[in-house]
Amino acid sequence: MKDLTVGREGRNILIFTIPLLIGSVFQQMYNIVDSIVVGRYIGKEALAAIGNAFPIMFTLIALIIGIAFGGTIIVSQYFGAKDYDKVRKTIGTIYILMFSMAAFLSLIGLVFLDPILSLVDIPAEIYDQAKAYIQIIIGGIIVFFGFNGTTAILRGLGDSKTPMYFMIISTIANIFLDILFVVKFQWGIEGAAWATIISQGGAFITAVIYLNKTHKLISIRIKDFVFDYKIFIQTLRIGLPTGFQQTFVALGMMALIKIVNNFGTDVIAAYSVAGRIDAIAMQPAMVFSQGLAAFVGQNIGAGKQERVKKGLRATLLMSSAVSIVISLLIISFRSGLMVQFNSDPEVIRIGGEYLLIVSAFYILFSIMFTYGGVLRGAGDTLIPMFITLFALWVIRIPIAWWLSGKIGETGIWWAIPMGLATGALFSYLYYLTGRWKTKAVTKPRGQMEVSLSQK
């Protein structure tokens, strides 16, 4: 655990973020390894199937991820206020909620999978493979929630190193199992799905054993779980807007893949590969935002709002610099990156075009997420939700649909930076209003002492 309320702001955020970034990159390696192994040893049809599977799976889990994030913010604010009893109650409430919803979503996903697949117009040649992959992932979704819920709680406590270690172990296991199941046993796309579930389940079980023996605040035992209704309501207040935001982002991804599917297997496969590269490239901005959110949560809980502005400036500088470097690297080596996944010349050409257009604007993504980190860390999640929905559903999706009809799939790629520019601008403007400063779930320690002395 790390107290982020003392020490140099930029240094605190950087030290906290580096393990987050390493862990996040390893987490993305799940999808990267699946795509490389599937693309090289099964073919571009299977690669396209995984590309269709991701937005569907993300849609099913997005709401719960957002709600869990609300719990993480509450953990960080209570931890910053040194209210450890509330920290423990929040952790128990999060686990009860996560496991209950995991069981529910597994059932819903498996029962309604065919209608869901029909919504995105998956081409017939990849339909069966996409369905097989998603069925296995959904069936094991409880270990995904358990593992990611645990890492989110640890981050709220200021511990970014422990999640990194477990993620590295999990990713190495996934690489080994991918090669074993797909290349050696020739299980096809199902082998890639089983490798993901087994490796993540193993990491979750390992994390449970380790934390139960070593951690002072986290106990992952059913008998120790306490459901606190007040904390549950606070979690919903902060988490539901983020959850709805994630859900509508996921639905937007499904809408986008529906547009992409109109252009055939080569474009779908190229979009799948470029999207994987895109996801890794955007990780630094996302984890800087997560680190800043934990920093803001703890400092608001401690009543040190003056540190928030300094942390924001430091994060903007670091995140933007990293984004510029990544943009230059991807623009320079885009074709070489694409060929690692699939050797089809048309897939490489289309994916390279996507990366050339989108990667030039990563700094907009960085700005949007940095300001979003301040707002979410303060517990102000409603307005960021509306900003995201506007940028996605009013700007990106309509422009992608319109431009793709005029200039082909290139129009879809140009719609992405247009949405990012909108999100970055409105996030900055809302930050300037200062309304986020009033959204904390805790009273700072000084205010709590004054309130008690007046009674």
Q: Give the whole-angstrom CA distance, residue 391 versus residue 373.
A: 17
| pLDDT tens, position by position, 16-43 | 888 878 877 777 776 777 778 888 888 8
| pTM recorded for the entire structure | 0.71
Mean pLDDT to the nearest integer, 230-245:
80
Under the banding of pLDDT at 50, 70 and 90, the label for residue 238 is confident
pLDDT in tens, 127-182: 999 899 999 988 888 888 888 788 778 877 777 788 888 888 888 898 899 999 99
- The reply to whether 84 falls in a domain is yes
Q: Which of 171, 124, 153, 139 is nearest to 60 (CA)?
A: 139
Percent of the chain at pLDDT > 90 equals 30
Q: What is the DSSP string of 304-347?
A: -THHHHHHHHHHHHHHHHHHHHHHHHHHHHHHHHHHTT---HHH
Helices 124-139 and 189-214, axial angle in degrees (round to 10): 20
Across the range 407-423, mean pLDDT stands at 95
| pLDDT for 442 | 58
Asked if residue 2 is part of any domain, the answer here is no
Query: What is the model's pLDDT at position 406?
Result: 93
Packing angle between helix 265-281 and helix 124-139, nearest 10 degrees?
40
Cα 435 to Cα 381: distance, rounded to the nearest angstrom:
11
- So what's the pLDDT on residue 87? 83
| Contact yes or no for 245/59 (Cβ under 8 A) | no
The answer, yes or no, to whether residue 126 has pLDDT greater than 50, is: yes
Within-domain flag for 275: yes
What band does 451 get if pLDDT is binned at 50, 70 and 90? very low
Confidence at residue 368, expressed as pLDDT on a 0 to 100 scale: 94
Average pLDDT over residues 373-393: 85
pLDDT of 212 > 90? The answer is no
Please give the Cα distance from 278 to 317 (Å, whole number): 21
pLDDT score at 441: 59
Q: Is 455 inside any structural domain?
A: no
pLDDT at 3: 67
Q: Is residue 453 part of a domain?
A: no
Q: What is the mean pLDDT of the chain?
A: 85
Q: Regarding predicted confidence, which is higher, 207 or 271?
A: 271
Q: What is the mean pLDDT of residues 318-332?
A: 95
pLDDT (tens digit per residue) in 263-275 = 988 999 899 889 8
Instruction: Say yes or no to pLDDT of 248 above 60.
Output: yes
pLDDT category of residue 1 using cuts at 50, 70 and 90: low
For the chain, state the CA radius of gyration: 22
At residue 440 the predicted structure's pLDDT band, cuts being 50, 70 and 90, is low
* pLDDT tier at 431, thresholds 50, 70, 90: very high
How confident is the model at residue 93, as a pLDDT?
86
User: Is the predicted pLDDT of residue 407 greater than 90, yes or no?
Assistant: yes
Is residue 455 pLDDT above 60, yes or no? no
Minimum mean pLDDT range among 66-80, 121-135, 343-357 = 66-80
In a 3-state reduction of DSSP, which class is residue 144?
helix
Residue 448 is predicted with a pLDDT of 40
* Beta carbons within 8 Å of 413's beta carbon, 6+ residues apart: 353, 354, 357, 358
- Provide the CB-side half-sphere exposure for 169 (13 A, CA): 16
Residue identified by tokens 């703890």 is: 298
Structurally, how many domains does the chain consist of? 1
Evaluate whether residue 327 is within a structural domain.
Answer: yes
- Write out pLDDT tens, residues 292-301: 988 888 888 7
pLDDT greater than 90 at residue 94:
no
Domain carrying residue 73 = 9-445
The phi, psi pair for 83, rounded to 5°, reads -95, 80
Helix/strand/coil for 367: helix
377 occurs within a structural domain: yes
347 belongs to a structural domain: yes
pLDDT category at 452 given cuts 50, 70, 90 is very low
Question: Pick the residue with more confidence: 21 or 452?
Answer: 21
